[in-house]
A and B are shown apart, each in its own frame.
Chain A
Amino acid sequence: MRLLLVEDNARLASLIREGLDRQGFAVDWCETVDGAEHALKINDYDLMLLDLGLPDGEGLDLVRRLRRRQDTVPILILTARGGLDDRVLGLDAGADDYLVKPFQIPELAARCRALLRRPGASLGTELTVGNVILHSAERSVAVAGLAVEATPREVDLLECLLRRAGHVVAKPALEGALYSLDAEVTPNALEACISRLRKRLTTAGADVQIRTVHGVGYALFAPVTVYG
């Protein structure tokens, strides 16, 4: 995994690099908007971590320029700006996630992984959380190295949850992924599917956990959560 970190504070940048390095990411670092443009031209990055107030320009302008160029590199904004409108401004500009300083390395790493697990992103083909592996191309699931039988719908559901592991996926998003628009979805069809998937994973000895968030959706958690 190759990440580009754009951060003008050298000390903070080196601390982030060290931290992410321990989490298994390779991080290149530059200090300016120009430096970032240059690095993006030379290398292919899986993810960009971008500070907003840079010595030679505004990080958001870089985001807008990249998106105008149809550059789809995932962008995580890493900023001290925590104003009421800043997050929306960042996401509207085309960034994929927005993290306000100060943060902790495990949280940053979790957010990076979530972005990398998106369809089309670098981790998109083989999704691994705990001892559960899903090969998105072959539509197969394995727990602790052993293949697990699952219906296509259950695989779809697991894929959605794995891609957003550690985060809550809203019910409408899951239903949208499981059923075509014209299909009749009974209110508890999703619930039934989740319940079958849970049973299957438990039987196979999976160490991940699917939790219900009442009124909102479901979340899949890794055995040792990255929070706290």
Chain B
Amino acid sequence: MDRAGNSKKGPVGPTLFRQIATRLAAFTLLFALLDVGIVVITYSRQPESLAQELLTLEANKAEGSTTLAPDLLAGPPGAEHWAARYVESNADRSSAAPLRVNAPTGILMDWTRRERVPGGYRISGVRSVVQDGQQRWLFMQFEGDGIRPYVPVIVNEIVQHVILPLIPLSLLLLLFNVFAVRRVLQPLRRAEAEVDALDPDNVLLRLSEAPEPREVNTLVRAVNRALTRLDETMAILRGFTANAAHELRTPLSIMQLSLDNLPASPLRDDLQADTQHMTRLVGQMLDLAQADALAVEPDTIVDLADIGREIVATMAPKVFEAQRDLRFDAVGDTRALGHAEAIYRIYRNLIDNALAHAPGDTPIEVTAGPGPQISVRDHGPGITDEDLPHIFERFWRKDRRKTDGAGLGLGIVQRLAQAHGGTIAVENAPGGGALFRVTFAAPEANG
């Protein structure tokens, strides 16, 4: 009964959020690489400032490790002749003599010197460090070649200036993206839910138009325009049905009444039976076409018990004629949302079905309620598991040699139930016989 079932498979393709997040991540990465490139290029053009940064970095390392003598620190990678020691501000300048120091004289201060030596460069300098709340001066010197000694500085720079600012920024953007996308797509999701809730047979419904965003608004309006066109098509179909009814029924009436005027003969009886069969078939096909085109107003409240009494009263003479008994019972609140004449036809077709399929003299029990449901139960053989999948199929008959029905009655019932957004269920009743139950929507509690 759920024909939307196959179209409700999991959604295909990435979500908009994922698309935006992927693009954002790629953009962040590109930005980071660009940033790194700029840092590397800038520093490689300024070896002086690189040297400066390198010594500051090493001094910071020494500052952090009070236990080790600065000499035992590893020094920059690939550095040769690494030397480091503390100098006192009042110390004899000659204490630095064993090293090839060519420091500026005067009071001690931070300084850096980079000079070319054969096979590379030599960097020396002094940094002030604070250890145990005491300011000390650290003299450092090493020789190196190429970019390798600078790697820690460059890495440090990248961490400081690229990664640290970019990561929180990207995370913030991603978070913002989650909220923004959710928020912006909310009207779309609402529209989706409304489209899902659309009853293909109730074209009176329209999607509610969200004022923004404009993209969603235009989509919703386009869907509504399509629904209107569908509505018009339905109207044409209904018009055709009415015309077809008129065109077919009048000649059938003439045929039937003419046959009555013929002198009695077996041939006349056969022809009368044939005409009646054809009349029934045409009637059911038109009923089915009308059921297919039925649009149930969503706010009409009917009393299932009233309709049940009416149909039972109408059909009782015919049922009594067949030496059968027809009983009606109402249980509890029997109000439902629906189309009275359509529900009348549901009852009628179910009673006709019971008349046709349960043997003579067994009673037919019609019940309304409790709640928005009706049921028709016969005392016939019930329905076999083998037949169960077919009983609602159009033009299906258990025994095709029988010519009294077209196999459309239960199809009409199912169609009319669906037009109400209702369901039809069939079971074998305890004690034998088939029990058909149609459930409708209940009106609002205070409606």
Contact = CB atoms under 8 A, between A and B. Distances in A.
Interface of B: 238, 241-242, 245-250, 252-258, 260-261, 279, 283, 286-287, 290, 294, 309, 312-314, 316-318, 320-321, 325-330, 339-342, 345, 366
26 contacts: A9-B254, A11-B254, A12-B250, A19-B257, A80-B249, A82-B286, A83-B238, A83-B245, A85-B341, A101-B252, A105-B257, A168-B312, A211-B316, A214-B325, A214-B327, A215-B327, A215-B329, A215-B366, A216-B313, A217-B313, A219-B316, A219-B317, A221-B317, A225-B317, A225-B321, A227-B321
Nearest to B279: A102
Nearest to A8: B250
Contacts of A26: none
Interface of A: 9, 11-12, 15-16, 18-19, 53, 80-85, 87-88, 100-105, 166-170, 211, 213-217, 219, 221, 225, 227-228
Given A19-B257, A102-B279, A103-B253, A215 B313 contact: no
A216 B309 contact: yes
B242 A18 contact: no
Given A104-B256, A105-B260, A213-B313, A84 B327 contact: no
What's the dominant secondary structure at chain B's contact region?
helix
B321 A12 contact: no
Shortest 8 CB-CB contacts between residues of A and residues of B: A215-B328, A168-B313, A102-B253, A80-B249, A214-B327, A15-B257, A80-B246, A101-B249
A84 B313 contact: no
B250 A15 contact: no
A26 B92 CA distance: 149
A80 B309 contact: no
Contact of B316 (A19, A53, A104, A213): A213
A160 to B, nearest CB: 14
Contacts of A216: 309, 312-313, 316, 328
Which of A15, A84, A166, A225: most chain B Cβ within 10 A? A84
A217 B311 CA distance: 12
Contacts of A213: 312-313, 316, 326-328
Given A168-B312, A170-B309, A225-B317, A104 B250 contact: no
A83 B241 contact: yes
Nearest to A225: B321
